[in-house]
Amino acid sequence: MKFGYIHKCEIQKKEKQQKFKYSSSAGTADVAQTVSGADASAIITKLGSGYIVVKEISGTFINTEEITTDSFSATLDSQSDYRNQSGEYQYYWNADQESVPCRFYYEKRTLGRGVEIQDSGQYVNQPLKLAVSNNATINELEYRIVSVVTGFAGTFLISVLHPHSGMIGIDHFEMILNEAL
């Protein structure tokens, strides 16, 4: 099935927050500050004794380099995936692919947001679907969809993902979306 990609969406990727242990510190770091290294930056999300937790890492931090904010400096000792007190990894959603050509649709003709009225008068909710080209990188567990398209605005989790093959390989992806809480 060929789709006219008449909409745009953002594909966000689930990323693990990172724990930076440090030494030789001066000053005080604050949550929401940008911490920088020689060729990298990140946003601080949590402070601990001798460590900070960061997200939205851009570039590569190197152990033993100086890390700084406007009010803090230290030597980066180590980096690891951050786990909370229960041992669970802590995640955030990062804009991975922006302005992705796509098409939101319902399988059957519907009234409003996916409500189909059957001949019996019964209302049946149809799932919201999305088609994106094979140029997108996506899977059910690590990605979600964000849309500002009128009638389809929201943040959606992917419940089912189907790659569709064409003559040469994967032609496009179709997915069923569930609105994120």
What's the CA gap between 6 and 13, in Å, rounded?
Answer: 23
> Which tokens in the block code for residue 163?
């790659």
What does the domain layout of the chain look like in residue ranges?
A: 7-13+94-179, 18-89
pLDDT digits (tens, 9 = 90+) for 6-43: 999 999 999 999 999 999 999 999 999 999 999 999 99
Fold of 7-13+94-179: Thrombin, subunit H (2.40.10)
Q: What is the pLDDT of residues 108-161, one digit of tens each?
A: 655 555 555 555 555 557 788 999 988 899 988 899 999 999 989 999 999 999
What pLDDT shows up at residue 119? Answer: 57
Percent of the chain with pLDDT over 90: 71
Closest CA to 94 of 177, 9, 11: 11
Per-residue pLDDT tens digits for 142-155: 999 999 999 899 99
The gap from C-alpha 63 to its chain's centroid, in whole angstroms, comes to 27
Q: Which residues contact 38 (CB under 8 A, 6 or more apart)?
A: 62, 65, 66
Return the number of other C-beta atoms located less than 10 Å from residue 83's C-beta. 13
Q: Do 102 and 9 form a contact (C-beta atoms < 8 A)?
A: yes
